[in-house]
Structure formats: structure tokens, C-alpha cells
Amino acid sequence: MVALTVACDPQRDETFVFDEMSYTPSETVFKLFAPENAKVFVVVEGDSIEMQRKMASADSCPFYKATVEGDLKGKTYEFVVDGQSSPGVFAKAVTVNGKKGVVVDMRDTNPEGWKSDRHVWRPAQDMVVYEMHHRDFSIAREDAKYKGKFLALTEPWAIEHLSALGINAVHILPSYDYGSVDETRLDKPQYNWGYDPVNYNVPEGSYSTNPADPLCRIREFKQMVQALHKAGIAVILDVVYNHTYDIEHSNFQRTYKDYYYRRTHPQPLPNGGEKGDLGYSNGSGCGNETASEQPMMRRFMVESVKYWVNEYHVDGFRFDLMGCHDITTMNTIRQALDEINPDIFIYGEGWSAGACALPADSLGMKANIPQMPRIAAFSDDLRDALRGPFSDDTKPGWFDPKEENLKESIKAGIVGMIAHPQVDYAQVNYSKEPYALEPTQMMAYVSCHDDMCLVDRLKASIPGIQEKELIRLDLLAQTAVFTSQGVPFMLSGEELLRTKQGVHNSFESPDSINQLDWRNKERYPEVFDYYKNLIALRKAHPAFRMGKAELVRQHLEFLPTEESVVAFRLKNHAGGDAWQDIIVILNADREAQMISIPEGRYSVVCCDGKIDQQGLGEVNGNRVQVAPQSALIIHN
Ligand code: CA
């Protein structure tokens, strides 16, 4: 890896923070991290002011500073470094489409009652995460006042839906300022997931009611957080520090050329010489990859997440392509957030989208999760065992009667990808060793925004599947997710039997593909009820979320079954549960199955597509029948 080095160590140099604009009514101070011998200006409403290079001490980071007297509130500014202009890398407020910075007193952006807003933090094992896109969620909702906006999540219908479903955290797809939607043309429908960051520390303008007003997006984001917090729902931000939309126009590149990106090695040739040039590495699959190991990039990430926590009261973070970031950076972020609150939840994609310029064993990959305590990674092991591999839509995974050898992957997902005496990792589909030290380091899921949603996947992999079977398998798959000792995660709309018409990568598909069809709530009430009752069952019973690997090894025991059935017992008041023993049986077979269980008298709480904690009947003896393609949950 070749990277530009700067003679400074931000670990030692506490004087520099990315406070590029700090406002008081009498003066505004501008600062910028930029190359040592650059010509740096700040241009305030057309007035160019040369910035002076500063160093706190001989080995501290060079930065440039200018103090402008007078009240600059509301004025726009740009930094110009060797002729390249940008709003800087840490703008707090911007003009439409994020082109220029705006001088702002952040106190002016606080909605009424903001001071009394409190974070929603809970231990990781208690979280139920709902991944959503602002536009998907509300654009087709007839009674929504703020369709596709942050404010939709302040509306009673939205809060009531989420509360009734019982999720307690929303993971919102990129909500920082991104580039792919033109904020000046919102009269035309435009759609993007937003994985193309422009200004990392400002909310996206198109989700506000007026992107031309720099304060509006900030205030409305905070109103959204406030409304969710009032309902006890945590807000998790999807953060995409691993790449920018492009290099040429990026604020990183325009303030400090080539500092923030990794470059590739030229490859040595056998007979001498080299092949290839010093190009930009592309581990993100998006044309570039940032260099988290660079001290100031690392510091940028740390300050950015802290800023979202402190200024916007965000409660947790999902790291896009965490496998592009180095382990040290992820642990530094964990430590910085611990100082605020250890329950700030961090998880990420434990992979990259291409080869990075750093060795894989130094990166935030799933296999390296043991080196990143209290950071979780998505389990594609469980996901693909349940619904078939990412690489082949025609394969139905565990639901294929011909498919063998997926049971261990599902069992690994049930225990939270920890070491367990009854799980043989040699037979697990991807992870040949347990990757989690604690079950809360695993995200349990069967679908997310990426790739097909569950309904589409079932349709693609089981040709001619009828609605009845589709619903059975949908509910069965989610039962595995929500009875896993990992942290359960669901894609928004799955509770409404969502379809994206078979589109995988719907990142820029129209609303007709991405929107939730709210009419499905009346069409399939049994689906919503099952999801709701399943979540309620998990929340009511600590046995399903013991949180500690040692407790899971002591209290979770698998029962012997055929390949098409996974059965486990949560025994002896697991996790302090009121119920003595709980038995969960997941039957993927098209036929009913008889399963041997420890002799006893049990109450049934989940059976054949229905869940009722008060009981659906009783079972006596040492054998129990499980209906086809469904889950049975009983307790004594
Ligand atoms: Ca934008």
C-alpha cells in the first residue's frame, strides 16, 4: 500500500479536530486540514480570505486557519485549496445539493423540546432492528403528509405501525447528504439508496421539505429522531465511509489530494520491471476506497460518528463494507463511542466488494470479528442457508428438499455464530470457524435492502410456488431469525409481504419497485400478526436473547432431527426466563414431522403459522408433531 504520509500524529495532537466552521455572533473561525505547501483560501459570499498555516507543535498536524470578524450567520462559504473548491470535509450545513458550506449556529436547528430528547440505548441482545429507506416506507402511503421525507417518521400512522410491529430500532439507509438525487428537481420522482456520500455530516436534502433552506434538513432530521425516541425506538445510521461517489469531485480529494484514498501496488514482473500503475484501489467496487488507516481519515471517522451521536442523538451505526476499514480504526471508533455510552450499537458488513489495498487479515472482515469486541457482523451464513446463496437465485437453500448439509449453518445462526459443542463448523456453508465471541456480534437476517426481498427470493427459487406455501416459508424463515441468539434484523416491508418485482439491486429503481404496498396490511393480516407476535415473544422471553456465549452454551441444546428440521431446547430458565424449558422446532419439510422431545407436559405458543403467548393448546409426552413448513414453539 502506498499512501501519502503526513508528519503528524493525531493521537498525540489533540489540538486538531475537524471543526471547520465555528460560529459566534462576533466572529467565525474556519479551519481546514490541507497539504503543507498549499495555497488555501476560504471564500465567504464571494470574498476570498487567505488562510494561514498553523501547527500546534513541530510534529502536530498542519492545518489552515482564518478568523473572520462580524456576524456571518447564514452566509455561504467554500474552501479553495490550490484552486480546487469544496465545502470542506466536515461541513455542518450546506446549500442545495451540498455545493457550499453555510455558517450556522447549530442551536438554531433544534426543534422544540430537543433539550429533553433522550437517546434510546439498550443492550445489543435486546434490539430488534428494522432496516428502512425513507422513500420506500412512505411514498405510497395514502394518508402520509410527508411522503418520502424524514418527517414521515414523525407521523402517527408511521409510529403506530412500527410500535405495533414491536421493532425497537430503525436502521435508516444513507441519510447523510448524497449526490445521486438532484435536490433542485424534487418535482420529478427520483430514487436512490444513497450509497454515494458527498457531505458526511449533513442530512440529505431530498428527504427534507426544503433543501434550499440549509437549516430545514437539520431540523427535520432532529424532529424525526425526537419522534422515534418518544416511541422508544432507537435510530441507527447507515454510514458509508468506505468510498465516495467518485474521487475527482470528492471533498476529500479537493481539500487534500490523495491523502484519503488507498492506492494499488504495481505488480512486479518475473523478469524485472513492474506491471500496472499506482492506481486507486477499488475494494468498495465503487471505483475507490478510502484509507481508514491514515491517521486523519481515522480521526475523521471517529469525529463524524461522535458528531452524529452528540448533535443528532443518533443511537447506533451500521458500517457499509466494514471489510474495507482496518481493524484498528473500528476498535478506535468502538472505544470513542464507549466513552459516550457502551450501548451505542455498532455492526457492519464483514466483507468488501473487491480486493482492498490492505491485507484481509488487517481489515474489518467477518472472520476478524473476534478481534473487534462488541462489533457485530451480518451473518450471510444464516441468510444463505435459509434462502439460498447470493450467487444463484434459483437455489432455495434449506427449503429445497434435495438440498443437504445446510442444517449446521442454520444451527450456527441459531447460536449466534459462537463456538457451541453441538455445532460442527466444518460443515457450515461459509464460516468454517465460529466468528463471534459473543452472540451479539452476529446480525441474524434473511433479507436486507441489497438483493431480493424474501418473497421475491422464494418465488425465484421455487418455481410455481403458491401463495399459501410462500407465506409458510416466509414465516418459517423469520422464525429462525427471531429465535436466533444473534441480533435480529429485518427489511422494512417484509411484514407486509413486500415484493420488489424480482429486482435485486434496486438502488435506483423507480418507486413502483421499491415502495411498500400498504394495502398488503389488510390483504395479509396473518403475516403482520405473525411478525408482530414473533417479535413480542422474543422481547418477552430472555431465553431467546441470552447475550452471553457462556449462557448459550449452557442453556441451548439441539435435539436430534433429520436434515430438514432444526430443533433446540432453551433449558432451565435460560437467561432467567420465567418459562422452565422452551422447545423451538423449525420444519422445512413439505410433510409433517414427528420429533422426539424430553418427556413432559408443554403449552404450545407457536404452531402452524400462528403465535399466541397465552397458549394455543397443550402437548403431552415425548413426541410431538410439527406441521409442514412451519415452526412449533412449546414450553413447560
Ligand atoms: Ca444530496
Q: Residue 480: its pLDDT value, please?
A: 98
Q: Residue 3: its pLDDT value, please?
A: 46
Residue 57, pLDDT above cutoff 70: no
Mean pLDDT score, 269-291 = 82
CA of 203 to the centre of ligand 1 (A): 8
What pTM value is reported for the model? 0.96
Residue 636, pLDDT above cutoff 50: yes
Residue 305, pLDDT above cutoff 70: yes
Could you give the CA distance from residue 503 to residue 453 in angstroms, rounded to a whole number? Answer: 9
Q: Which domains does the chain have, with CATH numbers?
A: 21-86 (2.60.40.10), 124-544 (3.20.20.80), 556-635 (2.60.40.1180)
Mean pLDDT score, 306-332 = 98
Q: Residue 345: its pLDDT value, please?
A: 98
Decide: residue 361, CB within 10 A, 0-12 exposed, 13-18 middle, 19+ buried. exposed
Could you give the CA distance from residue 464 to residue 201 in angstroms, rounded to a whole number? Answer: 47
CA distances from 319 to 89, 224, 332, 507 (A): 19, 21, 14, 17
Active site (catalytic) residues: 320, 349
Q: Residue 2: its pLDDT value, please?
A: 42
CA of 171 to the centre of ligand 1 (A): 19
Find all residues with CB under 8 Å of 129, minimum gap 6, and list them. Answer: 167, 169, 170, 171, 236, 443, 487, 488, 489, 490
Could you give the CA distance from residue 83 to residue 48 in angstroms, rounded to a whole number? Answer: 12
Mean pLDDT score, 108-129 = 98
Average pLDDT score over the chain: 95
Q: DSSP readout, 510-534?
A: -HHHHS--TTHHHH-HHHHHHHHHH
Residue 295, pLDDT above cutoff 80: yes
Q: Residue 62: its pLDDT value, please?
A: 76
DSSP state of 462: S
Q: Residue 1: its pLDDT value, please?
A: 38
Q: Residue 308: its pLDDT value, please?
A: 98
Query: What digits encode the pLDDT tens for the residues 36-51?
Result: 889 999 999 999 999 9
Mean pLDDT score, 110-138 = 98
Mean pLDDT score, 276-291 = 88
Q: Residue 205: its pLDDT value, please?
A: 98
Q: Considering only CA atoms, which of 423, 345, 411, 354 is closest in space to residue 377?
A: 345
CA of 95 to the centre of ligand 1 (A): 10
Provide the CB-side half-sphere exposure for 92 (13 A, CA): 24
Find all residues with CB under 8 Å of 472, minimum gap 6, and list them. Answer: 609, 628, 629, 630
Give the residue, 55 or 536, on which the prediction is more confident: 536
Find all residues with CB under 8 Å of 548, minimum gap 6, and list them. Answer: 438, 439
Q: Residue 267: its pLDDT value, please?
A: 67
CA of 601 to the centre of ligand 1 (A): 59
